[in-house]
A and B are shown apart, each in its own frame.
Chain A
């Protein structure tokens, strides 16, 4: 049994409409993608959709209240609430450098959390 789905690619702002056909062998056939990345996106989207996760966490003794953070790679969409919960529990204190890894191996995966901003210590 094959099924065809129509999805919108989110890799770049063009947002190509891709029609994906699931094949019996577990693979898929994508049509309508404007580039190779779109094809790859279509495949993951069918099997294990992933998303980049960004949020903010509180900083102790920082010149500003909140530290924007991001995962270093896209994470499994279905697990986003759990990832968020874990990230929110991370405690950081200023000074913080952009790019600093502040959380490792979330939920027993190789996903890390990176500080997305420099924050000086509160003076």
Chain B
């Protein structure tokens, strides 16, 4: 059986950054497996700008951002296969894939990086009632039709869900000549970035209906309308139903990390992030299998994906070069009040340098709050945050010294409104540790 040092499943921004970083760290036999006819992943259909502000200090479009990495893959002569679908990854790191030229092949990898990205939540998952005509698309599918195939999916649309994809598509459809009647959002706040609400909705006079949902899809063969109603305390308010005459419904109602291969390989998932349980090296519960990018948890900025994936590549390289940790001092991260999930979920204290970085999301919006990091209940750090939104992933860096010395079992991060009574306590603690 053909053997590789590292097999990367997915040639999008995550897979590419991870592969490049592994190559930089001396790993030679790398193979990237990508199911599309080109590298770049979902970026190839994201023609809008907004990518690269952190990584390249430039505002690039999706394809331009992807090309930077594609160029480096080519320059470093990292091997990749296109039009290739991975069928399975075994716990022993055997990767089985299929493509029209090679047929079905199984390779033995010494390490695997999972970078499969995510899928969109379909209509059936959210239980919208009504008919099931043509003309209902997830926003990403509509984006593919417009930007890759060159077809407008409809002329008059309503969009359910105000996540970034929904907002971006509101603008895209409008620019290509369609009329977008409204963006309907169940929550009391938009799901995507404020900048997108401005440049995708406000710029075009498209109303954002928060606290609303779609109660019925109408139309026999093709959509001919949707019924929108107000929602209060989780229930539809009777009498608030309005019918919108339209021929298209776009859904932007959530992304789900695509972990079918991971689960089949025996990788344990975190229900909160919907991605694998990861340690500080972005390694799953199976030694030598790593994960990064949207498959680990859904990101908002590709720049964060790149940073995370570079780390995964670095750690995979270290693993391949023989670095192992016994995992004796295992710290669990615990999402506290207001926190949806934290990545990584586990920290092997002996593997941590001076600083430890966590990525997390909050469950609801907060203003004038702070993120409080506690080790076994004792406050370690407090970071003031003017604004916290579920739609914006937060990065928090923590001093790792505390973990290194003590046997900390859990590290929690919670949200607190500013002006908490714990203020005095923390100062006292600092004094204590200073004396020791």
- A and B bound? yes
Residues of A near any B CB (own CB < 8 A): 7-13, 15, 17, 51-52, 54-56, 58, 64-66, 68, 70, 77, 80, 84, 98, 116-118
Kindly state the separation between the CA atoms of A66 and B172 in the bound complex, as whole angstroms. Answer: 15
Q: Which residues of A contact B50 (CB under 8 A)?
A: 13
Tell me the bound Cα distance from A55 to B146 in angstroms: 10
Pair A116/B47 contact, Cβ less than 8 Å: yes
Q: Which residue in chain B gives the minimum CB-CB distance to A118?
A: B67
Surface stretch bound by A, among B56-64, B226-234, B236-244, B423-431: B56-64
Q: Are A66 and B147 in contact (CB under 8 A)?
A: yes
Q: How far is the CA of A65 from the CA of B67 in the complex (A)?
A: 18
Residue B121 interfacial (CB < 8 Å): no
Cβ contact within 8 Å between A51 and B203: yes
How close is B169's CB to chain A, nearest CB, in angstroms? 13
* Residues A98 and B63 in contact, CB atoms below 8 Å apart: yes
Complex CA distance for A56 and B198, rounded to whole angstroms: 22
Interface hit among B27-35, B189-197, B346-354: B189-197
Residues of A within 8 A of B378 (CB): none
Interface residues on B, range: 20 to 34
Would you call A58 and B150 a contact (CB within 8 A)? yes
Q: Is the CB of B193 within 8 A of A15?
A: yes
A80 to chain B, nearest CB (A): 8
Chain A nearest CB, measured from B171 CB (Å)? 10
The residues of B with any CB-CB pair to A shorter than 8 Å are: 44, 47-50, 53, 59, 61-64, 67, 146-150, 175-176, 193-195, 197-199, 203, 300-301, 392
Residue of A whose beta carbon sits closest to that of B393: A13
A12 touches B195 (CB 8 A): yes
Closest to A71 in B: B49
Residue of B with least CB distance to A81: B175
Distance (whole angstroms) from the CB of A83 to the closest CB of chain B: 10
Cα distance, A17 to B194, chains bound together (Å):
9
A7 / chain B contacts, CB cutoff of 8 Å: 198
- Asked if A64 contacts B64 (CB within 8 A), the reply is no
18 CB contacts below 8 A, A to B, read: A8-B197, A8-B198, A9-B195, A11-B195, A13-B195, A13-B301, A15-B193, A51-B199, A54-B47, A54-B49, A54-B61, A56-B146, A68-B62, A70-B61, A80-B175, A98-B67, A116-B61, A117-B67
Is A55 a contact partner of B47 (Cβ separation < 8 A)? yes
Task: Please tell me which one of the listed residues A52, A56, A116 contacts residue B150 in the complex, with CB atoms under 8 A apart.
Answer: A56
When the two chains form their complex, are residues B148 and A70 in contact, meaning their CB atoms are under 8 A apart?
A: no
Interfacial chain B residues near A12, Cβ < 8 Å? 53, 195
Q: How far is the CB of B107 from chain A (nearest CB, A)?
A: 28
B59 touches A52 (CB 8 A): yes
Q: Would B175 and A55 count as touching, CB distance under 8 A? A: yes
| Closest residue on chain A to residue B301 by CB atoms | A13
Nearest residue, chain B, Cβ from A9 = B195
Taking a contact as CB atoms under 8 Å apart, the answer to whether B193 and A56 are in contact is no
Contact of B148 among A52, A65, A116 (CB under 8 A): A65
Check B150–A68 contact: CB distance below 8 A: no
Closest chain B residue, CB of each to CB of A57: B150
A68 to B53, CA, bound (A): 20
Contacts of B301 in A (CB 8 A): 13
Q: Report which of A54, A58, A65, A66 forms a contact with B48, defined as CB distance below 8 A.
A: A54
B220 CB to nearest A CB, Å: 31
Note all chain A residues with C-beta closer than 8 A to B48.
Answer: 54
